[in-house]
Chain A
Amino acid sequence: MTLDYASQSHYLIALLPEGIVTLGAFAVLLVDVFSRGRDSGPGGPWLERISVLSLLGAVAASLWLGFAVEAEPGLVAVDGFRLSGNLILLGGSLLAVLYAVDYGHREGLHIGEFYALLLLATAGMMVLVGAQDLVLVFLGLELMSIAVYVLTGFNRRDPRSAEAGLKYFLVGAFASAFVLYGIALLYGATGSTNLSEVMGVVTARTAEGSVLLAGGVLLLLIGFAYKIAAVPFHMWTPDAYEGAPTSVTGYMAVGVKAAAFVALLRVFSVQLAPAADFWSGVVWWLAMLTMIVPNLVALVQNNVKRMLAYSSVAHAGYLLVGVAAGTAFGRAASLFYLAAYTLMTLGAFAVVYAVAGKGDRRMTLADFRGLGWRRPALGFALLVFLLSLAGFPPTGGFVGKLFLLRAAIDADQVSLAVTLVLTSLISYYYYFRVVWKMYFEEGAEQAIASPGRAFRFSTAVCTGGVLLLGLLPGPALRAFERAGSEVATSEAIEVPAAATGAPTVGAEAAGSGP
């Protein structure tokens, strides 16, 4: 089937996965409203069933779009890159819904809106991932962000949650304004918001308006840097991650970052590749700082949740190496790392959530003493996640870092590769400190409530996935490699430096930039 955007109805087909998830969100809200006040409890199991079903439906729709549908260039991309991004995001959301089930039971919170917000945020992320137009980038970003602000402040009884929500909101809205100004300037410089047309104009580069172009690219990059929490735009991250309910923190760290990164790869590494001399130097510095700073700060953290927040900032740095490489393999490596990162980070926050107990109280290092003996399954899962975060074989994190290293070296970014290795070595200290507490120190006998079935299932999936990506990386890598090279670019406009040729420009400029 070929989509022809001349007929508007074909946009409905191109946006089928997003539509399914949005309808799911509305269905959850309706069921929630109409079942309130009955004795059988609010919505019962139906809310989570609808959520899971709509996410699975979106997975199916994404697969169908990715394999059976071709499209003309238009506002929405239909390509392997979007398919991979969608699958990573939907996987993360499915796991997050399962964790939310447990969260609702434990806190005794009414969480009908929680599922709806989670689904709306997912829809926003998918729009962001598929956006082939800057206006759509903005709308997806906002749909995602606004839902996540509310999720962050979801636990109204907890002042920490409210505080985190407000801080995240103020910084996030600030960042959105930067993204928007960048879009406005790019529109002013090129006369279009469609990324393919922008790329065409940028390639043909008319000298006038290059100030606007440079300004637009930089402002857009700053806005994205806030969203992915790159140093020095990361100050909100530890607070927002620590204060948010732990089941939300995992989702924030995974979904928001993955969506923003896939969009970043599409917008900068593909469509704005002809303008690489404007941004590659900045990305180089962002990657450098984002690898070094959080890894040093994390060394002195005593709160495990906050330590993991800094660790997730550091991982944004590793992922930026893939962006700085600017090659098709760089994109593939980033996608692979995002998949591994989704599983290991979501899993690690989930274990923290289980240890913290009702009200998210116990999160210091001391609370993890003896965890490996008291709760062997939970301890083993955390061990796998920490090994993967640190980049040890045989885990997905190790293989992902290897691919990122290869991408960096292929693109002659040796300094970034060396920094990646060195900062990973530093990170061993704070990851293994937790492992040491878990297995080699006696714990105070506080009871850790047994988590529910949904929690056990999704943690098992995360653990298995991390190990699988580590032991059998081949199929996933091949899929992501294909996705990384087949990003939709416009053939209507003659672009000499399309997907494959352009990155060398980026690599050279980045090498000489700093």
Chain B
Amino acid sequence: MNAGYLADLALVLSAVLFAIGVGGVLVRRNAIIVFMCVELMLNAVNLSLVTFSRLHGIDGQIIVFFVISVAAAEAAVGLALILAIFRHYETVDLEAFRRLRW
């Protein structure tokens, strides 16, 4: 098993994970699960970046650290917003938030 084959495998896995994340965001109706799917997408990208950095040098791995820290900031804000809306509606079901017309 050579390195190129492994890299291809990792890229395919990353694409599949990203697609699962996209599917989850589009299909699921629970705000927290939708948010988890977004995190899954970000981590799928991290996998790609690490794989590419095997070909192109260290840059990709450095970007991963930026992504992790940004994702952490996003998680803090996102969970706070979910908490804020839970106080008003007592649910995190996206179908229930209908005060604004889609």
Contacts and interface: CB of A to CB of B under 8 A. Distances in A.
B102 to A, nearest CB: 7
In the complex, which range does the number of interface residues on chain A fall in?
35 or more
Nearest to A179: B45
Contacts of B59: 187, 192-193
B20 interface: no
Interface string B24-66: 0100000100110010011011001101100111011001001
A180 B85 contact: no
Interface stretch (A235-243, A448-456, A471-479): A235-243
B6 interface: no
A139 interface: yes
B52 A188 contact: yes
B73 A165 contact: no
Contact of B60 (A162, A187, A243): A187
Contact of B88 (A162, A185, A191): A162
Interface string A130-172: 0000010011001000100110010010011011111101100
B84 interface: yes
Given A174-B38, A174-B41, A163 B100 contact: yes
Contacts, number: 121
A162 B44 CA distance: 29
Contact of A166 (B31, B41, B74): B31
A181 interface: yes
In the complex, which range does the number of interface residues on chain B fall in?
35 or more
Interface string A180-208: 11011101100111000000000000000
A174 B38 CA distance: 6
Main secondary structure of the interface of A (DSSP, over half): helix
B18 to A, nearest CB: 6
Given A166-B31, A170-B38, A184-B45, A146 B97 contact: no
B52 A146 contact: no
Contacts of A149: 77-78, 81
A345 B52 CA distance: 43
A174 B25 contact: yes
B52 A184 contact: yes
Contacts of A146: 73-74, 77
B49 A166 contact: no
Contact of B66 (A135, A167, A188, A235): A135
A293 interface: no
B27 to A, nearest CB: 13
A177 interface: yes
A173 interface: yes
B70 interface: yes
Nearest to A168: B81
B63 A166 contact: no
Contacts of A188: 11, 48, 51-52, 55-56
A187 B56 contact: yes
A181 B45 contact: yes
Contacts of B41: 174, 177, 181
24 contacts: A138-B66, A138-B67, A138-B70, A149-B81, A150-B77, A153-B81, A159-B99, A162-B85, A162-B87, A167-B100, A173-B78, A174-B22, A174-B25, A177-B45, A184-B48, A187-B56, A187-B63, A188-B51, A188-B52, A188-B55, A188-B56, A191-B57, A239-B101, A243-B99
Interface of A: 135, 138-139, 142, 146, 149-150, 153, 156, 159-160, 162-167, 169-170, 173-174, 176-177, 180-181, 183-185, 187-188, 191-193, 235, 238-239, 242-243
Interface of B: 11, 18, 21-22, 25, 31, 34-35, 38, 41-42, 44-45, 48-49, 51-52, 55-57, 59-60, 63, 66-67, 70, 73-74, 77-78, 80-82, 84-85, 87-89, 97, 99-102
Return the 10 tightest CB-CB contacts between A and B, nearest first: A177-B41, A159-B88, A188-B52, A191-B56, A162-B85, A239-B100, A184-B48, A173-B38, A162-B84, A163-B97
Given A149-B78, A166-B81, A167-B97, 11 more contacts: A150-B80, A163-B85, A167-B100, A173-B38, A174-B38, A177-B21, A181-B45, A187-B59, A187-B63, A191-B57, A242-B100
